């Protein structure tokens, strides 16, 4: 498929007609950033119903590290479709579930025996990880982080940080959840500067145990190794090991949410590997299965085995087509060295984005790990006031010129790179050229449009 091809105004007439029908048939709450209806996709390219072609730097929000319709994945799906579609693993089991569990038990960090169960969505897997942690520890409380995102179901939503649009109006939320700051140095909640802060955010956990919730009441600390929806925030290298040490000291389980960071995105199969931590439970989803709905919880065997028969599962969890797709996807990731590719793409992005940063003061920070890279956009590099409206305009201009982007950040001012890792160098450069064009057009904008609380002033 050719890369960018813009034949109509964007959205084109057929997309517009479908959007109108969507408006009448689908609730407003299910909304899109890019009003383009897809007709087919391949590699890193999406073709819309009007025949326009887009380079996809969003990957269905990080689900397509191995690319759209990787041939091996499509083949595995076809083969499975010819055999059976669903029996329910809790009624009549099948081997692909077991083979995939074995594969994850091997891949997920942790030098101890592990077991894995499957669900249908990231949020559902988060729910199960918390259930398992509470049952095993016989403790109720869970600690989570500012700027975290864990999904839209009740426990996952309660663990999520951002109020609008995720939590506001949906209460009461799940109880016994306590939130502490993440190692987000660009917007430090304690207004300190790294490394002089001496990791105040991680150390303050001990203070939380005195002032907020007793350590012996805490079942788990759940953390994204790198914030996803929160803005691709990479904590200082010491942050996660410090959390792990505190967890071990108090018998608290460490749960890593690798839903967005997993499966080669950061340059390793799992982001935890960069930090040398071995979480007790790891939650996976998104890019595991090449675009089919599948999620997993992998953890220490003794923890995973604690609850009795029938206590875990779900009708569609570990669907056989999704399991075969996942086995094929992981094969592609390994065979095509997509971890290495993520690093190459990430380095290339950083080089270009740092050059842009010198020209465009709107780029407050370029950050990330491997192929998980982002730019945080600000009205002013000193005040760090979030440039949410400008971010929206850049994304709009990009999709009008053939590049699909997704935003992130509590203040909606981060542009994140979630391109399929099979994108070619030429395609990636072409897409970055479109972003550069948008940066040239969209200036700092009208100061009155500022949304979100102002950032603390840093020196």
Ligand X SMILES: Cc1ncc(COP(=O)(O)O)c(C=O)c1O
Residue 375 within binding range of ligand X, rule CB under 6 A: no
> Which residues does 319 contact at the CB level (< 8 Å), separation at least 6?
85, 86, 120, 292, 293, 294
Query: Is 224 a binder of ligand X (CB under 6 A)?
Result: yes
- 79 C-beta neighbours (distance < 10 Å), count: 12
Cα separation, 19 vs 193, in Å, equals: 46
Asked if residues 48 and 321 have their Cβ atoms less than 8 Å apart, the reply is: no
Q: Which stretch binds ligand X (CB under 6 A): 119-127, 178-186, 315-323, 366-374?
A: 119-127
The interface region with ligand X, picked from 149-157, 182-190, 191-199, 385-393 by CB under 6 A, is 149-157
Query: Tokens standing for 448?
Result: 């009155």
Q: Does 50 bind ligand X (CB under 6 A)?
A: no
- For ligand X, the closer of residues 125 and 363 by Cβ is 125
Interaction pattern, residues 5-44, with ligand X; x per rule: CB under 6 A: ----------------------------------------
**CB nearer ligand X, residue 282 or residue 333:** 282
Taking contact as CB under 6 A, which single stretch among the options 64-72, 224-232, 268-276, 396-404 is the one that binds ligand X?
224-232
What is residue 423's three-state secondary structure?
coil
**What does the block give as tokens for 152?**
């839209």
For the sheet containing 45-48, what is the strand order?
38-42, 45-48, 53-56, 403-404
| Shortest distance in whole angstroms from residue 372 CB to ligand X | 11
Among residue numbers 278 through 297, which ones bind ligand X (CB under 6 A)?
285
Which DSSP state fits 217?
A: G
Q: What 3-state class would DSSP assign to 149?
A: coil
58, 110, 151, 346: which one binds ligand X (CB under 6 A): 151
Residue 51 tokens, joined: 């025949």
In degrees, to the nearest 5, what angle opens at C-alpha 44 toward C-alphas 42 and 50?
A: 65
The reply to whether 47 sits near ligand X by the rule CB under 6 A is: no
Indicate the length of the chain as a whole number: 459
Contact status: 231 vs ligand X (CB under 6 A):
no
Supply the minimum distance, in Å, between the C-beta of residue 59 and ligand X: 12
**Per CB under 6 A, 413 contacts ligand X:** no
- Rounded Cα gap, residues 271 and 342, in angstroms: 12
- Least separation in angstroms between residue 129's CB and ligand X is 10
- By beta-carbon proximity to ligand X, the closer residue of 50 and 258 is 258
Footprint of ligand X (CB under 6 A):
61, 121-123, 126, 149-151, 224, 228-229, 257, 259-260, 285
């Amino acid at each position: 498929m050719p890369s960018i091809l813009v034949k109509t105004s964007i959205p084109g007439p057929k997309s517009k007609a479908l959007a109108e029908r969507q408006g009448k048939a689908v609730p407003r709450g299910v909304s899109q950033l890019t009003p383009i209806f897809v007709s087919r996709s391949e590699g890193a390219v999406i073709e819309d119903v009007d025949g326009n072609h887009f380079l996809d730097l969003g990957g269905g929000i990080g689900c397509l590290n191995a690319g759209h319709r990787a041939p091996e994945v499509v083949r595995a799906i076809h083969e499975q479709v010819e055999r059976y579609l669903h029996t329910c693993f809790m009624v009549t089991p099948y081997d692909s579930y077991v083979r995939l569990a074995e594969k994850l038990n091997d891949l997920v960090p942790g030098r101890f025996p592990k077991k894995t169960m499957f669900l249908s969505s990231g949020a559902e897997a988060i729910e199960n990880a918390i259930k398992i942690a509470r049952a095993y520890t016989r403790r109720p409380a869970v600690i989570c982080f500012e700027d975290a995102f864990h999904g839209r179901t009740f426990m996952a939503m309660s663990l999520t940080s951002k109020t609008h649009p995720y939590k506001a109006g949906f209460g009461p939320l799940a109880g016994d959840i306590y939130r502490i700051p993440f190692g987000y140095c660009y917007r430090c909640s304690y207004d300190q500067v790294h490394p002089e802060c001496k990791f105040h955010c991680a150390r303050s956990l001990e203070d939380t145990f005195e002032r907020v919730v007793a350590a012996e009441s805490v079942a788990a600390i759940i953390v994204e190794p790198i914030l996803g929806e929160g803005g691709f925030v990479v904590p200082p290298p010491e942050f996660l090991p410090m959390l792990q040490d505190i967890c071990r000291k108090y018998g608290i389980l460490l749960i890593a949410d690798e839903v967005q960071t997993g499966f080669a995105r950061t340059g390793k199969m799992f982001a935890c590997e960069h930090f040398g931590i071995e979480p007790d439970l790891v939650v996976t989803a998104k890019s595991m299965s090449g675009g089919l709905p599948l999620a997993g919880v992998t953890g220490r065997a003794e923890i995973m085995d604690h609850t009795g028969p029938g206590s875990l599962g779900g009708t569609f969890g570990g669907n056989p087509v999704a399991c075969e797709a996942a086995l094929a996807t992981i094969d592609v990731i390994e065979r095509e060295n997509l971890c290495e590719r993520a690093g190459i793409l990430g380095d290339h992005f950083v080089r270009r984005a740092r050059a842009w940063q010198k020209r465009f003061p709107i780029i407050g920070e370029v950050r990330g790990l491997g192929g998980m890279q982002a730019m945080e956009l600000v009205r002013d590099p000193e005040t760090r006031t979030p440039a949410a409206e400008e971010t929206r305009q850049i994304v709009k201009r990009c999709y009008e010129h053939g590049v699909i982007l997704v935003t992130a950040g509590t203040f909606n001012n981060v542009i994140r790179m979630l391109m399929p890792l099979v994108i070619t160098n030429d395609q990636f450069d072409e897409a970055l050229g479109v972003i550069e064009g948008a940066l040239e057009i969209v200036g700092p904008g009208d100061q009155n449009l500022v949304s979100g609380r102002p950032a603390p002033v840093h020196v």
